[in-house]
Amino acid sequence: MKRLILLFIVFFNVSIFAQSKEYSIIVKDIETQLPIENAMVVIMKTKQVLLSNEEGKVTFMLTGASNVQTSETNYESLTTRWITLKGNEFVVYLKNKKNKLTEIVVSKESPQKILQKIVSNSVEKLTMPYRLKVYVREYFMLDDKYSYYNDGLVNFQFSGNRKKATTTLLVEQNRSYGLLEADVSADLKGYNLNNIMENYSNLDYFEPILDSKAKKEYDFIVKGFPGNKDYYVMSITPLDKSKKEMDSFEVIYDHKKKIIIEFTCALIPAKPVETEEKPDVGSKNITRSFIKVKYRIDGSDYYLLSSNEEIAYNLILKDKVKNIQVRNSFITTNFNKQKFTYNESDVFKEKTLFNKKNKILTNYWDVSGFTATDKEKEIISSLDYKL
């Protein structure tokens, strides 16, 4: 009997030590002491990739110890030994790359031609086929008030050829909170998760500026990048901002490997034109559009790391105008070259997660790779309470 009790105690203690613990890391600028947003934190033991929120914070579960790699495009990368990290919450400090973008890169080839080659090569180099486990979330505002929220842990299976990728979407878990009015929700059905992910993989956002006519409409400037001699930055801005709305771009790329590391795309609205004609019912007047996409190079693998999209527009109805704002984020939590098996009935064929009934098995949002800020938690809780 004593032996059985002793074995139980030993087993119980081993179970306790084997359990995962929750840890938090806050990433800060070593000089300003300010938090660094969108820093990539890699837990070396598990290979989990995390991105810091606007508070500079990431949260993760871990059994035992692990060294931690922290990096951000504008900062020097740092590998921290676990032994130097104390407690369940600790701070990692990064040093800013102080060099400024002062040197313009001169090339015999036009910047637009360079961009065409970089986009083509990036699409070609993206690993194929592969699977991404992605945490996706969306905030919805109606007339400047948060009205809806959804998030989910999903799998995108990429297939097709390197020049034109297609995705299959399976949803592991998801949740939706808040209420959407009929006219607004019908309008939002145009947001398609598969289309967005395929656009990131096929780099369709660049089509307008790859056309030869774009040389007359845009200014292309290439500069060096601070602290990394292998990176260049290409700024692409409209020459005439008054005639029509146009996008401006900033592309960070590895000029040796000729692949894109990060790009942003922001809409520059056209100047308002005075007219007595009323806009058509159902039309949209876009007031803001912003996209930021990051890719990761890990050895021979090259794939989407994260994205943030924001759009704001006025929806014209019969008797009023509604202001709509949507923020959508993708964060890759796991990359795998193996295909997953599934039944056709498991494939999610709707456009957005608010068309799927809630399926919550675990607190997947706590280990999603992106930790919600205190403000975001308040928003989600308030919308949950409404239900």
> Domains of the chain by range and CATH?
17-94 (2.60.40.1120), 111-386 (no CATH)
CA–CA distance from 117 to each of 114, 121, 258, 261, 332 (Å)?
A: 5, 6, 8, 14, 26
Residue 286, pLDDT > 70, answer yes
* Diameter over CA atoms, the chain: 93
Residue 306, pLDDT > 90, answer yes
User: Are 78 and 92 within 8 A, CB to CB?
Assistant: yes
Q: What is the DSSP string of 108-123?
A: SS-HHHHHHHHHHHHH
Residue 17, pLDDT > 70, answer no
pLDDT of residue 6: 43
Confidence (pTM): 0.85
pLDDT of residue 166: 81
Between 8 and 115, the higher pLDDT residue: 115
pLDDT of residue 273: 57
pLDDT of residue 14: 42
Between 243 and 276, the higher pLDDT residue: 243
Tallying the residues shown for the chain, one arrives at 387
**Most confident listed range (11-15, 193-197, 260-264, 336-340):** 260-264
User: What mean pLDDT value characterizes the chain?
Assistant: 84
pLDDT of residue 377: 92
Least confident of 194-203, 236-245, 306-315, 372-381: 236-245
Residue 305, pLDDT > 90, answer yes
Residue 235, pLDDT > 80, answer yes
Angle at alpha carbon of residue 336, lines to 333 and 338, rounded to 5°? 145
pLDDT of residue 276: 54
CA–CA distance from 265 to each of 203, 246, 288, 331 (Å)?
A: 12, 10, 11, 18
pLDDT band at 79 (very low <50, low <70, confident <90, very high): very high
Pairing between β-strand 89-94 and β-strand 21-29 as defined by DSSP bridges: parallel
pLDDT of residue 269: 73
Residue 189, pLDDT > 60, answer no
